[in-house]
Amino acid sequence: MTPKVMIILGSGSDIAIAEKSMKILEKLEIPYSLKIASAHRTPDLVRELVVQGTNAGIKVFIGIAGLAAHLPGAIAAYTHKPVIGVPVDVKVSGLDALYSSVQMPYPSPVATVGIDRGDNGAILAAQILGLYDEDIRRKVIELKEEYKQKVIRSNEEIVQKIDNPHITNDFLRIKNLELNESTEEFKGSCINKDADVVIIVGRHTDLITGKKVSVTLDRLKIPYDMQVICPIRSGKKFRAYVNTMKNAKIFIGINSNSSQVSGGLVGLTEKPVIGVPCENELGNNYLLSTVNMPPGVPVATVGVNNGRNAAVLSGEILSINNPVLLELLEKLKNKKINL
Ligand SMILES: Nc1c(C(=O)O)ncn1[C@@H]1O[C@H](COP(=O)(O)O)[C@@H](O)[C@H]1O
């Protein structure tokens, strides 16, 4: 049986983080291949594994590495399949590995997950595969439900056991635990309900980054819909919009102000969520709050303001079973490289 996912570790010393990915893939019964190869120490081996893996039918690559983590980027150099990067905390709390994974040049995105989050890397791979395999999609939904139940149970297991007369919860009557389900329809005009990709921009200032996504999606002929909706100021509208667009395949959150867009999206969909952190007026960016998501809810993060890479990543995900799109993607990537 050809595996669907290839995990490559930069070193045997990354195995503890890889085990988190392996555990999830095994739970979801997704066959995978596991290899150790370093872009620095064994560049030829990396190229050989990626080229052979791509030709053999690997759908998603996961590169796990610490320090100057060039491995995921090197994988992206040899394939048009989506590449997920898992930065490992070896020095400086893993920030070196995070920055080297996520800050990739156009048009070679690495869908980066949080530091040491091997579990989220595998969940993201499963979300991508779930777009083409109903059985995997169902298992992703079940897995997300497990994470949800864990939170709900912790009220009984932790809070109720605290013997403190100042805590008063008796007035709460929470019956409907399907709190995330919105059945409302979005009222806006000119929505493309057949969009494959949904782009949500948190505020008008960040439309410039949203525009970078849409221009590149246009070049790839991928249908999309884009709206400016702040999940904090317009929570109801945000949920109604996500509900209305629930048949889309990929959601992109253009984030500023504590990354609420991508963070809000992951609770409302089992589909892949891509996060684009934006710079704000003070020059700070929202990279860390976009990427460092808790287990169970990955955000495939691309570089700061790099809307174009979010679009290319969408193209890589959607071209898994679309040869026409794959050809367009190859042209776009090669043209850029040959310029
Ligand atoms: N980041 C890379 C690459 C690479 O990017 O090619 N190769 C090894 N490494 C990382 O170096 C760290 C220390 O490796 P050793 O323990 O082998 O010295 C590991 O976290 C590995 O992923």
User: Residue 335: is its pLDDT beyond 80?
Assistant: no
Whether 225 contacts 199, CB under 8 Å: yes
User: 106-145, pLDDT tens digit by residue?
Assistant: 999 999 999 999 999 999 999 999 999 999 999 999 999 9
The finding on whether 288 has its CB within 6 A of some atom of ligand 1 is no
Which atom in ligand 1 lies closest to the alpha carbon of residue 68? 1
Pair of tokens at residue 276: 């684009």
The finding on whether 45 has its CB within 6 A of some atom of ligand 1 is no
**Centroid of ligand 1 to alpha carbon of 79 (angstroms):** 21
Whether 27 contacts 140, CB under 8 Å: no
Q: Compute φ and ψ for 257, nearest 5 degrees.
A: 45, 70
pLDDT at 181: 63
Going by their DSSP bridges, the two strands 197-201 and 250-255 should be labelled as: parallel
Out of 32-36, 65-69, 171-175, least confident range: 171-175
| Residue the block writes with tokens 């367009």 | 328
Across 266-332, where does the E strand assignment appear?
273-277, 300-301
Which atom in ligand 1 lies closest to the alpha carbon of residue 72? 5
Going by their DSSP bridges, the two strands 224-228 and 250-255 should be labelled as: unpaired
Pocket mutation for ligand 1, best pick of 11, 50, 96 (most atoms within 8 Å of C-beta): 11
Out of 46-50, 66-70, 164-168, 272-276, least confident range: 164-168
Among 304, 300, 315, which residue's Cα sits nearest to residue 117? Answer: 300
User: 25-63, pLDDT tens digit by residue?
Assistant: 999 999 999 999 999 999 999 999 999 999 999 999 999
**Centroid of ligand 1 to alpha carbon of 290 (angstroms):** 24
The finding on whether 301 has its CB within 6 A of some atom of ligand 1 is no
Concatenating the DSSP letter of every residue in 219-245 gives HTT--EEEEE--TTTTHHHHHHHHHHT
Pair of tokens at residue 311: 């679009």
pLDDT at 20: 98
Whether 100 contacts 88, CB under 8 Å: no
Q: What mean pLDDT, rounded, does the chain reach?
A: 93
Percent of the chain exceeding pLDDT 90 equals 85
Whether 275 contacts 301, CB under 8 Å: yes
Among 27, 41, 31, which residue's Cα sits nearest to residue 6? Answer: 31
- Cα atoms in the Cβ-side hemisphere of radius 13 Å centred on 229: 25
In this structure, how many other beta carbons lie within 10 angstroms of the beta carbon of residue 308? 24
Residues near 40 by beta carbon (within 8 Å), at least 6 away in sequence: 10, 68, 70
Give strand pairing partners of 251: 198, 273
Residue 339 pLDDT grade (very low, low, confident, very high; cuts 50, 70, 90): very low
**Centroid of ligand 1 to alpha carbon of 15 (angstroms):** 11
| Residue the block writes with tokens 């690997």 | 58
Q: Is the ipTM of this complex over 0.90?
A: yes
Q: Give the total residue count for the chain.
A: 339
User: 245-278, pLDDT tens digit by residue?
Assistant: 999 999 999 987 767 999 999 999 999 999 999 9
**Secondary element (H or E) of residue 253:** strand 250-255
The finding on whether 96 has its CB within 6 A of some atom of ligand 1 is no
User: Residue 103: is its pLDDT beyond 50?
Assistant: yes
pLDDT at 283: 67
User: 201-260, pLDDT tens digit by residue?
Assistant: 999 989 999 999 999 999 999 999 999 999 999 999 999 999 999 999 999 999 877 679
Spell out a b/e string for 181-218, using b for 16 or more CB atoms within 10 Å of the CB, else e: ebeeebeeeebeeebbbbbbbbbeebeebbebbbebbe
Question: Mean per-residue pLDDT for 65-94?
Answer: 98
Whether 13 contacts 91, CB under 8 Å: no
| Residue the block writes with tokens 């996520």 | 102
The finding on whether 40 has its CB within 6 A of some atom of ligand 1 is yes
**Centroid of ligand 1 to alpha carbon of 68 (angstroms):** 8
